[in-house]
Amino acid sequence: MSEIDEAYLLAALRLGAGVDPAPLAVSAAARAAFALRLPGAVTADPVPVPRPVGARSPAEPRLHRFQAPGVTIDVELTHAEGRVDVAGQVTGGSWDEGPGRVEIRTLHDRWVRFPTETGHFAATGLPVGWLSVVWYRTGLPVVATRWINTRRLDADD
């Protein structure tokens, strides 16, 4: 973040807080949230995915599907030993120049994966919490999923 952006952000926080300056924790949280933005990215919104017929325990993988115009991002989450494993697939857009790269983001880290020719990617051992998948497509706009709370794998989002 440039100094001028940070100065404007802090000034806005002070105005919103009234006369008193914003608490340091609020300023830090605002800076962290501002750093997570992806200017110009297309947001892939969640779409319902029917659960398969039959018995399924909450510990089994949970599929989340996100769509943007011409793009689908499937993200399957599984808890494993207090961590989260992610398996997914990106589809849509032009594959003429390759599938690009996928970035799996948490609030504090990023994991870069290069999808296969069929768009599959995976990462294991991620921390439990908030997660988003960003697809950097060659020659096309970036597509990012909304944030998923991996603490609620068995809840309907």
pLDDT digits (tens, 9 = 90+) for 24-51: 887 777 777 777 778 888 999 999 987 7
157, part of any domain:
no
Q: Residue 27: inside a domain, yes or no?
A: yes
Query: Within 13 Å and on the Cβ side, how many CA atoms surround 68?
Result: 20
Provide CB contacts within 8 A for 83, sequence distance 6+.
Answer: 124, 125, 126, 127, 128
User: Residues 58-75: pLDDT tens digits?
Assistant: 555 689 999 999 999 999
According to DSSP, residue 152 is labeled G
Q: Write out the two tokens for 60.
A: 């089994």
User: Which domain does 115 fall in, by range?
Assistant: 42-152
Give the global pTM.
0.74
What angle, rounded to 10 degrees, do the helices at 24-35 and 3-17 form?
130
pLDDT (0 to 100) of residue 3? 59
Same domain, 128 and 51: yes
User: Is 67 found in the same domain as 12?
Assistant: no
Are 68 and 20 part of one and the same domain?
no
Residue 95 belongs to a domain: yes
* Domains in the chain, number: 2
27, 48: one domain:
no
